[in-house]
Structure 1
């Protein structure tokens, strides 16, 4: 495949880890300079507080997100030449683009939200303080430079384990942000999908999180397929179907998750519910087929899978009998799905390792 950005080669005198750190520093310096200029311009002749709208924090979050887009896309594309990433060169162009887009969106959203939270906390600590051009430039340089540095390092070292952590962090932060900014404090009395029904920022965040997370799950599936193929080749896993069936189920889950965000419940309830139900069914299929498809994994993994499966069934029963409402049921299923993914990836990473 052709990379979106040129891939540099390294020499023995310049290890790849040093090259990545060097490029991350250059990215931070460039982004910091841009942030300083924009921070000074934003506060020039205008008294801006840390948080609110308009505010220094709002502008900083936007700039940090934009810088993170450039840093993540560049770093992830260039990382295809690193050891352990050789399999990415055989991906089709369309699949490669989806991977770059999903990784980029997740990093950009995390950078923007993290920057916003920092400025919000500063605003709570320095009540009534307004920023002049000097403070705006300094804070702009620090926030954008730090965002570019951390994002570049993260995107350069994407692995299955790191991608699962990125996925969980992205979903958790996006969902919590939507909850905290919802214009209706009683949204939880209806259902979890209520967060995506408002003509407000919270719904944009919620639906956008689901769509981007769905894309990220499809990228995650490609990494899982590579890891499973390696375990099948070495004989650690006995079922050859695992390297095709498990990633396929994950891809369908990702598509269904994205559809939940694309079609909010107030736009088309049947399609929305069909997508949500389809994701749950694919997850249940993964749980049920694990003893056969993933034979060779540690026993503790299957015990954990059985426990999560039992919890899934218990949640369904408790919802049917009316013990708790739809919102609690949806949150429970959501937590079980991503909890199992985290456990699966941890065991996938250690299976086959030499003691």
Structure 2
């Protein structure tokens, strides 16, 4: 069997194991937990956590089983960095699975009713755990940047939607999104937790995005140093070796992306009522960071396509127009915040997929380089630069 077929086969084994573990665990929990922990929302939390744990364990096994970086043959720093990367990716998957499964369980409970649905919870969680185990194992074995980018909107929409549906303030949207998280209720905690996890995931994905830009840059420099011609592939990204002040640009880009993630974390960590100053610093600082990042994108990341720069400018123009309409009294601040948040998350997903495209083009260039190079290709050859996300790195 080839690599993809082996990944699918191992994913099926993971499906069965995760299904049985989650189903048995939830059955034991439902039979032995005290009454206070059988409240509907707490059961959903435990069930979602069980599914998330199964999915993350499946991901870790699938991602680390073929890794060469954990052997210690490349020094002490490489295994530590690889462990950090595995933990970071696990956080992204855990957040996505937990919030998405909780939202699905809540919807199913509303459709069937608590009395009927409670008897199905162990096996429903088992099925979801099996699906999560299958998907995460296959994705871990075939990991790329597009996979990571596609996870971000899932748990953000799941978390915010669940918070909006379960809040005891039906008129929160008349003010702004901060009012949805400005309480000590379950809905407020769900909303704030979603923002915190979104910020963490933005920082994690930014780390891999910047790593890819630097990997492409190193590849170009290695080609130049090898005195062999680089492959002539029409759709290769712009030669990073021609970018002046490359280290400064990527550093500033990483700082802006990390600060954007920290802003999300700060908004979720500091509610408005007890911490109005800190909350406003993060909430009002995020649009400023967005403007600087999107306007300066052509200089910060010249490897991206021109269409990306046009989309960035359009996003700023739409948010500015919505803000003007709000100041005139014809719109609500909630709508402006929702538009700005969706625009940024949408932009970030497109940005991540652009980085993934650069990675794919670089891999193609490396294959062409191998075919065009003569003689033995050893481990020091510039073609051996690999993807940071690759499971077998």
Q: Residues 60 and 144 of structure 1 are in contact (CA less than 8 Å); yes or no, is this contact kept in structure 2?
A: no
Shift of 1:263: 1.0
| Greater relative contact order (Cα < 8 A, sep 6+) | 2
In structure 2, C-alpha distance between the alignment counterparts of 1:22 and 1:91, rounded to whole Å: 30
| Structure 2 counterpart SS, 1:130 | helix
Q: How many residues align?
A: 332
Q: Indicate the RMSD between aligned Cα atoms, in angstroms.
A: 3.6
Q: Residues 68 and 104 of structure 1 are in contact (CA less than 8 Å); yes or no, is this contact kept in structure 2?
A: no
| Residues 129-159 of structure 1: per-residue CA shift (max 9 Å, x gap) | 63797x6664443232222222333345443
| Residues 242-292 of structure 1: per-residue CA shift (max 9 Å, x gap) | 322212210111112111111111220111111122222221111121122
Of 94, 104, 123, the residue aligned with 2:90 is 104
In structure 2, C-alpha distance between the alignment counterparts of 1:280 and 1:268, rounded to whole Å: 19
Trace 1:48-67 onto structure 2 (pairs within 5 A). Answer: 53=40, 60-67=47-54
Match of 2:58 in 1: 71
Match of 2:223 in 1: none
Q: 1:231 to 1:54 in 2, by over 3 A?
A: closer
Match of 1:148 in 2: 133
| Residues 165-214 of structure 1: per-residue CA shift (max 9 Å, x gap) | 11122212211111111111111112111111222111111111111111
1:206 aligns with 2:191: yes
Match of 1:291 in 2: 298
In structure 1, C-alpha distance between the alignment counterparts of 2:355 and 2:122, rounded to whole Å: 45
Trace 1:1-355 onto structure 2 (pairs within 5 A). Answer: 16-41=3-28, 53=40, 60-78=47-65, 81=68, 93=80, 97=84, 99-123=85-109, 126=112, 130=116, 138-233=123-218, 234=220, 235-237=238-240, 238-239=243-244, 240=246, 241-351=248-358, 353=361
Q: 1:236 to 1:312 in 2, by over 3 A?
A: farther
What is the TM-score with the length of structure 1 in the denominator? Answer: 0.78
In structure 1, C-alpha distance between the alignment counterparts of 2:166 and 2:78, rounded to whole Å: 39
Match of 1:7 in 2: none
Q: 1:79 to 1:222 in 2, by over 3 A?
A: farther
In structure 2, C-alpha distance between the alignment counterparts of 1:191 and 1:339, rounded to whole Å: 20
Q: Structure 1: give runs of 5+ residues left out of the alignment.
A: 1-13
Rg comparison, structure with higher value = 2
Q: Structure 2: give runs of 5+ residues left out of the alignment.
A: 221-237, 366-393
Q: Residues 62 and 141 of structure 2 are in contact (CA less than 8 Å); yes or no, is this contact kept in structure 1?
A: yes
Shift of 1:340: 1.7
